[in-house]
Amino acid sequence: MNRLSAIAAVFSLSSAADDAMPTLWELLDELFALDLGDYDHLSFSQSTLIGMRGIIIALFVGAIIGSVSALFNKRVLGGFVRALIAEGCTSPDKAKTLAELGFLKNTAMRASLRAGSVLGKTVRCVEEDEYNAATVAKRGIYELRAAESGKDIPPFREIPYKRDTSTAHFYIPSDRCDSAEIRFSKKGTDIVTFILGVIASVVLLILVLHLLPDLLQLLDNFIGGGA
């Protein structure tokens, strides 16, 4: 019975310690808190306070997301662009598949090769070019026959081409290679620099949130002095 009592006491202390320990959300809320004081000429409601903090945090989060996107575009997508240029894939007859370039198993790359994506607009697809050329020819024949018949028929229906990235052949036109290399240049996308930049951004965010009350106090004093 004494042993059971001791075990129960240990669990009781552990539970109490867990209750006393703040959660991750509580720690983040305290770290990024925005505590505004009482001002003589400025007034802020609780909703304004929450909204102000949310806007500041959103701006920094947006900047970090933009940095991640740039890093992905230049290092991951840029790797594919550089591979195409290095392999001489600058015309339809020299185009290659993802398998031939060593990117077939890269899921992110395959998803990024959609026709409307950033990479999809830079890289050309042989099969898509042929499909679009055939579609233009079909539309011309359709419209010619419609004009000859003199009948009111529905307009030509064009079905967008869907790229099959597992079999499609890709290339970058020679006149676009220079701009593609510049756009997806690896320069300035060092991972260590990126991590340090994120850390610096978080520190700057904390400083802004902690210094903002003092800046508002200066503004309040300025308004009071001019009144």
pLDDT at 59 over 60: yes
pLDDT at 10: 45
What is the reported pLDDT for 13?
Answer: 47
Query: What is the band of 98 on the pLDDT scale with cuts at 50, 70, 90?
Result: very high
Give yes or no for a contact between 98 and 166, defined as CB atoms under 8 angstroms apart: yes
Q: Which residues are within 8 A (CB) of 20 and not within 5 positions of it... i.e. 6 or more apart? A: none
**Is a pLDDT exceeding 80 seen at residue 89?**
yes
pLDDT of residue 114: 78
pLDDT tens digits, residue range 103-144?
988 888 888 887 667 888 889 999 999 999 999 999 999 888
- Residue 62 above 70 pLDDT? yes
Helix or strand holding residue 218 (H, E)? helix 191-226
Query: pLDDT class for 16, splitting at 50, 70, 90?
Result: very low
The DSSP H or E segment spanning 125 is: strand 124-125
Give pLDDT tens digits for 192-227: 777 887 888 888 887 887 787 777 778 777 787 655
d(CA 189, CA 60): 19
Q: What is d(CA 63, CA 200) in angstroms, rounded to the nearest whole number?
A: 12
Which of 47-51, 85-89, 196-200, 219-223: highest mean pLDDT? 85-89
> How far, in Å, are 34, 184, 204 from residue 208 at the CA level?
9, 33, 6
28-42, 51-65, 145-159, 204-218 — which is least confidently predicted? 28-42
37, 217 Cβ separation under 8 angstroms: yes
d(CA 101, CA 84): 8
- What is the distance in angstroms between the CA of the first residue and the CA of the last residue of the chain? 76
Angle at 200 between CA 199 and CA 206, to 5 degrees: 95
Segment 66-83, tens digit of pLDDT = 888 888 888 888 889 999
Half-sphere exposure of 103 (CA within 13 A, CB side): 25
pTM of the model: 0.63
Mean pLDDT of the chain: 79
3-state class of 122 per DSSP?
helix
Question: What's the confidence (pLDDT) of residue 120?
Answer: 82
In whole angstroms, what is the distance from residue 61 CA to residue 63 CA?
5
- Say yes or no to pLDDT of 36 above 80: no
- Tell me which DSSP letter residue 95 carries: -
DSSP 3-state of 124: strand
